[in-house]
Amino acid sequence: MRVSDADRERIAELLRDAYAEGRLDADEHAERIGAAYAAKTFGDLVPLTRDLPSHRAVSFDKPPLHAAEPAPAAARPLPPAREEAPSVVAIFGGASRKGRWRVGSQLTAFTAFGGVEIDLTDAVFESPEVEIVVTAIFGGVEIRVPENVTLLGSGVGIFGGFDVREQTAADPYAPVVRVKGLALFGGCEAKPRRGKKLKEWVRKQLGTE
């Protein structure tokens, strides 16, 4: 039988969990994720999780037509994501952007004699690539991203520091966060937050399907 997008995504989620637990390395995870999304039949999907003891066996058996469908578990509704301005500014003070908010393709952070905190770990990504332009003058900017996105940096520190802990996500379709800019007598630090994964990441939403 041929598989649906929901069947492929079910296996992909199991593979992401196995990668987070250390049962798969980055190469194995990327290879199996690619095979999952390329699968045409159930026979293509079953071997991808067969050697993962932490997960129960995956069954694609369909219940008889006369059998009652089990009631779906009630899901806790998420609050609506906030619409925010594409810039965060702090002058002689502090500013933060965190929680459940919508982030687009461009974001700027400016601080002078102050501090800015940008937390993307619970944000709703609306673009496959987010560019954050930082200007820190006698101040600091701290950026945190989910551990399952790609993080790249190209900033300059003058009498200061511009530290971006780059990482490449195992999934080639993962969103990309690029941090660039200038730290003058100040600093910028961008790094992934371990244990925090991007929750609302739908390929159709990001335009890759």
Say whether pLDDT at 61 is over 90.
no
Identify the pLDDT of residue 179. Answer: 97
Q: Does residue 142 carry a pLDDT above 50? A: yes
Higher pLDDT, 63 or 167: 167
pLDDT for the residue numbered 6: 81
Q: Please report, in angstroms and rounded to a whole number, the separation of the first and last CA atoms in the chain.
A: 22
Q: Quick one: what percent of the chain has pLDDT higher than 90?
A: 42
Distance CA 169, CA 146 (A): 10
Residue ranges of E strands in 83-155: 87-91, 94-97, 102-103, 106-112, 115-119, 124-125, 129-137, 140-146, 150-153
pLDDT (0 to 100) of residue 207:
45
Mean pLDDT of 17-40: 81
pLDDT category of residue 77 using cuts at 50, 70 and 90 = low
Using only C-alpha atoms, the chain has a radius of gyration, in whole angstroms, of 21
Output 1-5 pairs: Cβ under 8 A, ≥24 positions apart: 1/41, 1/42, 1/60, 2/40, 2/41, 3/39, 3/40, 3/41, 3/42, 3/44, 3/45, 3/60
The predicted-structure confidence for 79-128, as pLDDT tens digits, reads as follows: 677 888 999 999 999 999 998 899 999 999 999 999 999 999 988 888 89
Give the lowest-confidence range in 1-5, 109-113, 136-140, 166-170: 1-5
- H-assigned helices in the chain: 5-20, 26-38, 42-45
